[in-house]
Amino acid sequence: MSELPMKMMPAVSPETAEYWAACKRRELVVQRCSSCGVHQFYPRVLCTGCSARTLEWVRASGRGAVKSYTVVRRAVSEAYAAEVPYVVALIALEEGPTMMSNVVGCDPESVRIGMPVQVVFEDWSETVTVPKFAPAA
């Protein structure tokens, strides 16, 4: 893991701490508004649907589908060069929200829009574990 710190490590902030702590436990969590029931990602202090501050963390199923994707052939920086070609994708979670991630565990050429995927976790450091997605079994 010596090259990993060169990657773009997420700088955890107070409102995202619970999200990253859950990733460390290998759980994907999103916010749910207890007033209107809508799920949202990324973490915020207000519900973007009804403006209420009644947000709670709920565990997501980890299932979703590829909304769009690209196979990156030229890495963004030296830290990512070893992984070329790698897939950057937008994942539509079963609960509704969209998140960016990598699709791993398959041939990059086999990724398609609509492909069902399941969250997997990659440890980057003592404190940071990053959620990625693999084809659903």
Partner 1 sequence: MSRSLRGRTAIVGAADTEVGVIKHMGATQLCIEAILRALADAGIGKDEVDGLVTCNSMAEPYMYHAETIAEYLQIFPSYCVSVGAGGGTTFTALHQAASAIESGLCHTVVIAMADSLRSGMTREKALAMQSSTGHPQFERPYGPPVPAYYALIAQAHMHQYGTTSEHLAAVAVSTRQHAMRNPAAQMRTPITVEDVLASRLIADPLHLLDCSLVSDGGAAIVLTSRERARDFKQRPVYLLGVGEGHGHEHISAARSLTTSAAVDAGRRAYAMAGVGPKDIDFAQLYDCFTPVVLIELEDLGFCAKGEAGPFVAAGHTAPGGSLPINTHGGLLSHTHPGNPGSMFALTETVMQLRGQAGERQVAKADLALVHAQGGIMSSHCTIVLGGEDAA
Sites of contact with partner 1 (CB under 8 A): 7-13, 16, 41-42, 67-80, 83, 86, 88-90, 98-102, 113, 124, 130, 132
Q: Which residue, 53 or 78, has its beta carbon nearer to partner 1?
A: 78
Cα–Cα dist 29/15, whole Å: 13
Q: Which residue has the tokens 């980057």?
A: 124
Cα–Cα dist 10/52, whole Å: 27
Q: Minimum CB separation from partner 1 for residue 130, in Å?
A: 6
- Per DSSP, helices labelled H in 17-116 are 17-24
Q: Minimum CB separation from partner 1 for residue 12, in Å?
A: 7
Which of 39, 38, 19 lies closest to 29 in space, CA to CA?
19
Is 119 in contact with 46 (CB distance < 8 Å)? no
Q: Which residue, 54 or 122, has its beta carbon nearer to partner 1?
A: 122
Q: Which residue, 7 or 63, has its beta carbon nearer to partner 1?
A: 7
Q: Minimum CB separation from partner 1 for residue 100, in Å?
A: 4
